[in-house]
A and B are shown apart, each in its own frame.
Chain A
Amino acid sequence: MTDKEKNTPEDGARKPKLPPGMVPRSPKMPPGIASKTAAAKTPASAASASKTTSASSGRTKPGTAKPPGKRPGLPPSKKMPPAGGDGATSELKYTRADFSSDQDVRWCPGCGDYAVLATTQRLMPELGVRPEDTVFISGIGCSSRFPYYMNTYGMHSIHGRAPAFATGLKASRPDLDVWVITGDGDALSIGGNHLIHLMRRNVNLQILLFNNQIYGLTKGQYSPTSEVGKVTKSTPFGSVDHPFNPSAVVLGADATFVARTMDRDPKHMKSILMQAHAHTGTGFVEVYQNCNIFNDGAFFEYTEKTSKAERTIFIETGKPLVYENGTKGLRLNGLEMESLDLESGNYSVDDCLVYDDASRDLAGVMSRLFWKENMPQPFGVFYREERDTYDQLLHDQVSDVLKKRGPGSIEDLLHSGDTWTIE
């Protein structure tokens, strides 16, 4: 396999320009006096030379672009702190190009990640959020290179922890539209803890889990979503690990928006991403993504024409659960789904369950279809619930305290409690 991280000629081909005061490093200086550059010897006095600039330099009025992810129907919350936006408004119509960075995309040709990137870039102009107010934060993995390719603000963080970075950013800057990009290893293995806490807190952001059932970037070890028996470099005799079912995991952590889509159905993906974005709270989207190098065809059963109709069911609230071009349907039998043959003459569409994504129980049953061999795999929004978001609650609390106590000054704080004077 080619090394996807290999140097491209343009990397650093330019001779780096030295910052002022820096000399090209000669062979390591002998140990001893600390200063290694001329400027390091400058005396301390210069420290206070420049004037303090108040923070307001970066935070004036919120932009008039749609405040991302606010509760529907709520005006831009007055409770929220000043937005970081610099007040620039956009009457401009954005296009896909406005959201594409100038960096060469370096995924393997044929990788499913391209489709997610393209769909996201196409979706963004429709969301009405300025690129400047949008932030993509990822962990580590092939999928986590995603932010580099978006012409927005972005952070490629550390393995598994993107939810933490995103939570800190969104908590302190609720005016921003935050997206988390993660992989099956990133989110469910090393980052499992952060994932579940993101869900229970219900931070108002979107999280896209690229599930390719493999560790791509480290060249093909099995992942927490790989099936039992999976033969990989690290499991030459087959994996004995029981896999995670991502939607069940996040439902168990009280996620408020749970959906699944696939790389090879961009239309569906776009609609799901749109809904996740519209959701106030954490919008969790699992994307079945083909890693054509290390796990090619993992989802072909669901994504390819020959079997897609038979093996998938696209669920939508208010619509009956039918699949295979309307020839089959699902209904509840006790707490289990059963498949109905709508051509047998015994059942009609009216016998099929009408899906309701407001039902946590139904979402549970749907997510558990994962384990059933002869059942179609569901795609769409499993679950949706309105619940106060962490960032909103945090700011509400701050404004409550502010209202009760008034803005505190450091002067007050220093003089609080017991004091005495020595004359």
Chain B
Amino acid sequence: MTSKSVESRSEATVLFAGDSGDGMQLTGTQFTMATAHAMNDLATLPDFPAEIRAPIGTTYGVSGFQLKFGSTNIRTPGDEVDLLVAMNPAALKVNVDRVRVGGTILVNSNAFDKRNFELAKMDSNPLSDGSLDKYVVIQIELTRLTREALADSKLNQKEIDRSKNMFALGLALWMYSRPVQPAMDWIKKKFAKQPDIRDANLHLLNKGIHYGETTDAFAFQIEIEPAKLPTGKYRAIQGIEALAMGLVAAGQKSGLGIFYGSYPITPASDLLHALSRYKNYDVMTMQTEDEIAAIGTAIGASFGGKIGVTGTSGPGLALKTEGLGLALMLELPLVVVHVMRGGPSTGLPTKTEQSDLLQALYSRNGDSPLPILAASTAGDCFETAYEACRIAVKYMTPVIVLADGFLANGAEPWLIPNPDDLADFDVQFARKKNGVIDGKEVYLPYKRDEKTLSRPWAIPGTTGLTHRIGGLEKEHETGNVSYDGENHQLMTDIRHDKVQRVNQEVKPLEIFGDQSGDVLLVGWGSTRGSIEAAVARTRNAGHKVGAVHLRYVSPLPLDLPEIAGKFKKLIVPELNNGQLVKLLRAEYLLPFEPFCKVKGQPFRASEIEDKILEEIG
């Protein structure tokens, strides 16, 4: 059909931006699905305001969805945007600086009127004042074209205007030679019961494609070859979905099932949403009255023999603090999934940050160590959640999983794992008395396993093993209340050593890039993509750079000092004001240097690249 030429590229970054009500998240998601079907590698960055429907036309109401895709290994959602779709002046104003010089900006010119300039606090029309000269600007009368296309439809004006994102989607799909079938299938399914809306959307989608094919403004189509990903079956996955599935997998593999207690909070709510749909997967969920109750119900369930899990974000972790301390004292398995967001206090609820690491480590009263795992990619969320459950059960300890808003909402193609490959669980409920006191057989709830230092798990209902646990210091082995100083010292040491022994489970660190050289980057969590992209770039430029990424931030790995010794400079990039770097310095007495950012956005690979170059000098 199309007579236009096709240009081949290895990668591209597209950003859809508009009002919160413009359906940009949906447009981005559908573009992502089409891209996944085109077998490109990809990474996404949804970015939306904290308000549900922020005032129309304002800069703070702008919602964006960025994705980078390509035939190569895509590690980040992209530094510079090749195509910006801006539905109104505010969306343009907020995002224009992200567009690379020479990049394309596609605007809905009908929205560029006086009223919207005022709402976006713009003095002049950017389409005519020359400020966009370094870009290729394509003006489309999206509102008018949409109204014309749907002149015969039964939808009302508001519904019609709201559909214009489908036109934009169709056009963007055409521009990048994406398959249109996934979006069509989705529309048909989603609006099966509303044929008018379904037909209008399908019609507009096709109109958008047709517009690309026939309009002179579009001289060529861009094509991006499929990526050379490992073979197998794939799906697109968001971090939050992967967390949910990792928990479900753990519940099933262990045979224990999952109990999830949670109180809604952005962005962790989606975990509650996901798990509450999985009631037939041996998952029980409960929306509690607050975060304290959430962790309480989870601990109660753990006491009864389930894997108790609770999830939260932002200030929610503060409320779980006391419960975490108790779980640590009770030595029951518990997993706390904490999806970090901008802080302190309510902070930036919809923006990403890694600033709760020290809180996760140290917010509890007393010496209260526990294992902390951080997920590094959307797909890694699955493994991390699973691993956290396994450790929690094996070591009889609460475990914190750290993720963040970027990980939770971002998506990537994911090679679907084979559940048979998942590590086995080691669940052994206590059935028998395990000690003798004064010639009498007794159950010692705090008797230790030789290898793990974990205590036995006797669940209520087990004959002969009645016992009481609680937050008061436990006497070694008997678990009776004890205020004895020697005993407290011993129990404190055991609790510490137990967490250290989790290092038995930790795989040796792998160095990405050069195995020795000038700069070593040490990262954790969602910064992995940006860090590795920066390492790849600087190595391409001839520098000797490596990176290690920690899944376990507690206990800290044993082999880091050895690796650190092979590099001249040690840099710790993190999305906070310098937290892991403090830990590393204190633990290893080595000159780790911070590289920090707290702007509500993930690192751009270029920012880390610049930092590396600066260090090399």
Contacts and interface: CB of A to CB of B under 8 A. Distances in A.
Contacts of B216: none
B468 A40 contact: no
Given A41-B558, A168-B301, A169-B300, A414 B417 contact: yes
A279 B123 CA distance: 71
Greatest chain B CB density within 10 A among A50, A164, A176 is at: A164
B323 interface: yes
A74 interface: no
A166 B304 CA distance: 10
A52 B394 CA distance: 11
A41 B558 CA distance: 8
B494 interface: yes
B450 A21 contact: yes
A305 interface: no
A95 B398 CA distance: 37
Interface in A69-89: 83-86, 88
A230 interface: no
A318 interface: no
Contact of A16 (B278, B490, B589): B490
A422 B297 contact: no
Interface stretch (B194-202, B229-237, B350-358): B229-237
B511 interface: no
Interface string A381-423: 0000000000000100110011011111111011101111111
A157 B304 contact: no
A51 B424 contact: yes
B431 A16 contact: no
Interface stretch (A145-153, A295-303, A308-316, A339-347): A145-153
A178 B610 CA distance: 60
A156 B286 contact: no
Interface in B331-373: none
B472 interface: yes
B588 A32 contact: yes
Contacts of B459: 58-59, 84, 173
Interface stretch (B87-95, B142-150, B161-169, B251-259): B251-259
B116 interface: no
Interface string B429-445: 10100000000000000
B504 A32 contact: no
Contacts of A57: 427-429, 431
A168 B482 contact: no
A36 interface: yes
B253 A52 contact: yes
B503 A410 contact: no
A155 B479 CA distance: 12
B441 to A, nearest CB: 14
A405 B283 CA distance: 14
A131 interface: yes
A151 B466 contact: yes
Interface stretch (B9-17, B31-39, B65-73, B525-533): B31-39
Contacts of A194: 289, 292-293, 296
Contacts of A374: none
Contacts of A137: 300
A140 B472 CA distance: 10
B472 A415 contact: no
Given A41-B558, A47-B423, A55-B427, A168 B308 contact: yes
Nearest to B461: A84
Contacts of B255: 54-56
A58 B306 CA distance: 11
B235 A47 contact: no
User: Is chain B's binding surface mostly helix, strand, loop or mixed?
Assistant: mixed
A175 interface: yes
Contact of B233 (A44, A63, A419): A419
Contact of A13 (B300, B323, B484, B500): B484
A402 B233 contact: no
Given A12-B482, A34-B500, A194-B289, A173 B305 contact: yes
Contact of B245 (A16, A131, A158, A414): A414
A398 B279 contact: yes
B297 to A, nearest CB: 3
Contact of B280 (A22, A39, A401, A415): A401
B235 A172 contact: no
B470 A167 contact: no
A397 B279 contact: yes
Nearest to B503: A40
Contact of A408 (B39, B281, B469): B281
B539 interface: no
B526 to A, nearest CB: 22
B434 to A, nearest CB: 13
B36 A420 contact: yes
Given A84-B459, A173-B305, A413-B281, A17 B477 contact: yes
B424 A48 contact: yes
Given A152-B466, A164-B293, A420-B234, A36 B304 contact: no
B505 to A, nearest CB: 5
B370 to A, nearest CB: 15
Contact of B279 (A33, A169, A193, A402): A402
Contact of B484 (A7, A39, A165): A7
Interface in A313-340: none
A172 B330 contact: no
A133 B229 contact: no
Contacts of A404: 280
B299 A168 contact: yes
A167 B300 contact: yes
B170 interface: no
User: Which of A33, A42, A163 has most B Cβ within 10 Å?
Assistant: A33
A109 interface: no
B225 interface: no
Contacts of B489: 25
Given A19-B453, A55-B305, A157 B470 contact: yes
B296 A168 contact: yes
Given A55-B256, A59-B305, A419-B416, A164 B431 contact: no
Contact of B426 (A25, A33, A50, A155): A50
A236 interface: no
B182 to A, nearest CB: 7
B259 A172 contact: yes
Interface of B: 33, 36-37, 39, 182, 226, 229-236, 245, 248-249, 252-257, 259, 261, 278-282, 284, 286, 288-290, 292-301, 303-306, 308, 322-323, 325-326, 330, 394, 416-417, 419, 423-429, 431, 448, 450-451, 453, 459-472, 475-477, 480-487, 489-490, 493-494, 496-497, 500-501, 503-508, 555-558, 561, 586-589
29 contacts: A5-B483, A20-B448, A21-B451, A31-B586, A31-B588, A35-B500, A40-B501, A44-B504, A52-B424, A55-B254, A56-B255, A63-B461, A148-B481, A153-B468, A155-B468, A161-B292, A165-B299, A165-B303, A168-B286, A168-B298, A168-B299, A169-B300, A171-B297, A172-B284, A173-B305, A398-B279, A415-B233, A417-B235, A419-B233
Interface of A: 5-7, 11-13, 15-22, 25, 31-37, 39-44, 46-48, 50-59, 63, 83-86, 88, 101, 103, 130-137, 140, 147-148, 150-158, 161, 163-173, 175-176, 193-194, 197, 394, 397-398, 401-402, 404-411, 413-415, 417-423
List 7 tightest A-B contacts by C-beta distance, closest first.
Answer: A12-B484, A156-B470, A164-B296, A168-B300, A168-B297, A84-B461, A58-B429
